[in-house]
Structure 1
Amino acid sequence: MICVRRARPGDAAAIGAVHVSAWRNTYAGVLPDDYLAGLSAVRHAAGYERAIADRRNGHAMFVAVASGPDAPPGRPEGGGDGGGAVVGFVSGGRGRRPGLCGEPVAGSGEVETLYLLDDYRDRGIGRRLMRAMAAHLAAVGCRSAVLWVLSDNPTRWFYQRLGGRAAAREVIRFAGRQVEQTAYLWDPINILLMATASAPER
């Protein structure tokens, strides 16, 4: 069984492990091998523990937890309470960039991260996580939502399928090289809410 719930401080270690696994799989050949090899689940876990506790600017994190026959072997269990293993997560809050795409900061939201273990893709879990975040952003007053993703990310089609419109591009320096990232925009946010409404509950 897969459930989506609000992240808890005890989930941080599992979230850090998902982050590292997702980056190594998604960005192989896109980012330098030595950078990906040097990613630390422990270091990311510490950052995510702080992020889970941070509720400023409407910030929130949600996790997808697999239990029973769906649980992956050898993964840290969320919260350490035997309630299953974290296999994906999403985070976001009110927009971090005032005036992005012409939207006043008071009305914009941002999906900051969305990561999922490879074995759990194509099962509707990413869609359910996006649904949880879209509903949260709407509840804290966001009228639109944006998500930045590296333009060479092979899973960027997922955001297009959810109705995201490529609204901006920029080149940044990351991991020692110049990379382009694309902003996908849902304006109004109801576009994202409607696109994720049929997420399967299983």
Structure 2
Amino acid sequence: MICIRRARPDDATAIGAVHVATWRSAYAGLLPEAYLTSLSALRHAAGYEAAIGERRNGHAVFVAVAKGADAPAGQEGVKGGTVIGFVSGGRSRRPHVADGEIETLYLLDDYRDRGVGRRLMRAMAAHLAAISCRSVMLWVLKDNPTRWFYQRLGGRLVARDVVRVAGQGQEQLAFIWDPIEALLLATAPAPEA
């Protein structure tokens, strides 16, 4: 079973580990290997622990937790389950583009194409709608191999920018859902037959 819930401070270590694992997978060959190797799950965990507790500007973090047969091998019996992915966001850092922003969405490779990313996006979209965001955006590196996911959910390309990652300029793309209901509709559970 995989459930989506609001993150707790004690999830931060697992969230940091997911962040590092997904970057090493998604950006292998795109970013310098030395940079990817140097990523620290503990350093990321500290940042996520602060973000989970702070909740400033409507910020929230949701986690996907796998239990039982869906848990990673060797962790089936872990009490409370194993964090396999997460999403974070809040009010937009660029309010002239959208009201809300999804800042991160990371999911371990073994759990892709199972609807977990869609469920995480829905949790964040519902949260943002509940705090009165009428639109939502996110940034993704242009060469990120999972960029198609946002396009399949109806994200509309609205901006391009260059950001420095590992000392290199990387083009990033901004996708928007305006109104936010478009994302809620795109991530709605399929009706049962």
Superposed counterparts of 1:178-193, under 5 Å: 178-193=169-184
Corresponding residue of 2:32: 32
Query: Unaligned regions of 5+ residues in structure 2, if any?
Result: none
Deviations 1:114-161 (A, max 9, x none): 000000000000000000000000000000000000000010000001
SS at match of 2:5: strand
Q: Which of the residues 148, 156, 171 maps onto 2:139?
A: 148
SS at match of 1:30: coil
Corresponding residue of 1:134: 125
User: CA separation in 2, counterparts of 1:10 and 1:200?
Assistant: 35
Give how far 1:199 is off: 5.9
Give how far 1:73 is off: 3.1
Counting aligned pairs with the same residue, the percent is 72
Give how far 1:94 is off: 0.5
User: CA separation in 2, counterparts of 1:199 and 1:171?
Assistant: 37
For the pair 1:97 / 2:75, whether they are aligned, the reply is: no
Q: Which of the residues 61, 81, 85 maps onto 1:84?
A: 81
Corresponding residue of 1:22: 22
Look up the equivalent residue of 2:163 and give its one-letter code: I
Look up the equivalent residue of 1:99 and give its one-letter code: H
TM-score after normalising by structure 1: 0.91
SS at match of 2:137: strand
Deviations 1:38-97 (A, max 9, x none): 00111111111001111111100000000001111356x9xxx81100000000000012
SS at match of 1:152: coil
Deviations 1:2-23 (A, max 9, x none): 0000000010010011000000
Look up the equivalent residue of 1:109 and give its one-letter code: G
TM-score after normalising by structure 2: 0.95
SS at match of 1:115: strand
SS at match of 2:179: coil
Corresponding residue of 2:116: 125
Displaced runs of 4+ in structure 1, greater than 2 A? none
User: CA separation in 1, counterparts of 2:113 and 2:19?
Assistant: 18
Give how far 1:174 is off: 1.6
Q: Which of the residues 187, 192, 198 maps onto 2:189?
A: 198
User: CA separation in 2, counterparts of 1:187 and 1:98?
Assistant: 13
Deviations 1:157-197 (A, max 9, x none): 00001010011001122211111000000000010000001
SS at match of 1:50: helix
CA contact 1:7–1:62 (8 Å) conserved in 2 = yes
Look up the equivalent residue of 1:32 and give its one-letter code: P
Query: Unaligned regions of 5+ residues in structure 1, if any?
Result: none
